[in-house]
Copies of this chain bind each other. A is one copy, B any other.
Amino acid sequence: MPLNETVLGRMVGEIVLSRHPNYREGQIVHGMLGWQEYAISDGGTNIENYGPGITVVDPDLAPISTALGIMGMPGATAYFAVTNIANPKPGEIVLVSSAAGAVGSTIGQIVKVYGCRVYGLAGSQEKVDFLTSQLGFDGALNYRASRDLATDIGRLCPDGIDIYFDLVGGEMRHAVLEHLRPFARIPLVGFISQVNDRPPSLPDPTRVLMAKRVRMEGLIVYDHVGRMDEFRSQMSHWIKTGKVRPVETIVEGFERLPRAFIEMLQGKNVGKYLVRV
């Protein structure tokens, strides 16, 4: 019954035994409880989900698995990147990197609600097909198959780019720069490409950022915990009305966790990668 997520050891599940006055058996909770089948919590609440705290999940808002994905931190990251930094306007052209991941797939669907044209960069043809056939993306590009990413991005977005959601950093953003339109925005919402590496050296983008009046801004989701209720209510509404669809890869069996973690880092999953244990 409980689900584990692969990145930080978050877990969602049912309380099977409670000696805490605030919790009762049968409640659904989530917390950063590690890769476990059963976990013990002191019942403390911790909004950032670090430590042994737990928070209650409202199963009426969305399927409980989404507490680790689109209704949780990945979804909130997407929501605040769109609403707090990007401020998309109808008709604007949006490019999302890591577009088939938990955050990117949510961003793409939200900006469609805002009336934008949305394009995605993803790491396989399978993901590209998924984005365009299942999630309403107007186009997508398998960057691993590209020999000249800047040229291919220009073909994908011939009218330029108003908003580039940067979940990757590095060479990919550099390839995007020349296609930015005036007053473009670049929310920086991840840097998975650099987790294990020294940052690459790239030509200083000052001139293009200035000439095009680009705004580039970093986001950390935990700065916005005060708006989590607004986020959950809005996202639940979008899910229930079919505007936004949770994207998850769920595999079965605790023993699959280490392999799922490695596959997640290799980018083999679509959406949030969860293990049902």
- Name the B residues within 8 Å of A223 (CB-CB): 213
The number of times this chain is found in the oligomer is: 2
- Is A173's beta carbon under 8 Å from chain B? yes
- Name the B residues within 8 Å of A198 (CB-CB): 203
Among B189, B199, B215, the residue within 8 A (CB) of A216 is: B215
Of A4-12, A138-146, A204-212, A247-255, the stretch lying at the interface with chain B is A204-212
Q: A169-B204, A201-B201 are in contact. Are A219 and B215 (CB under 8 A)?
A: no
- Name the B residues within 8 Å of A203 (CB-CB): 198-201
- Is A114's beta carbon under 8 Å from chain B? no
A231 to chain B, nearest CB (A): 18
Most B Cβ at <10 Å: residue of A191, A198, A218, A219: A218
- Is A166's beta carbon under 8 Å from chain B? yes
- In the complex, per-residue mask of A179-221: 1 if CB is within 8 Å of any chain B CB, else 0: 0000000001111001000111111111101111111111110
Among B206, B216, B217, the residue within 8 A (CB) of A191 is: B206
Among B173, B200, B213, the residue within 8 A (CB) of A218 is: B213
- Name the B residues within 8 Å of A217 (CB-CB): 209, 213-217
In the bound assembly, the distance between CA atoms of A198 and B173 in angstroms comes to: 19
In the bound assembly, the distance between CA atoms of A113 and B64 in angstroms comes to: 53
Among B199, B207, B211, B213, the residue within 8 A (CB) of A206 is: B199
- Is A267's beta carbon under 8 Å from chain B? no
- Is A52's beta carbon under 8 Å from chain B? no
- Asked if A191 and B210 make an inter-chain contact with CB atoms under 8 angstroms apart, the answer reads yes
Q: A206-B166, A206-B191 are in contact. Are A211 and B220 (CB under 8 A)?
A: yes
- Is A34's beta carbon under 8 Å from chain B? no
By beta carbon, the residue of chain B nearest A203 is: B199
9 contacts between A and B (CB under 8 A): A169-B204, A170-B206, A188-B206, A191-B210, A194-B206, A199-B203, A209-B218, A213-B223, A216-B217
- With A194-B204, A210-B218 known, 8 other A-B pairs at CB within 8 A are A188-B210, A191-B207, A194-B206, A201-B203, A202-B204, A209-B217, A213-B219, A217-B217
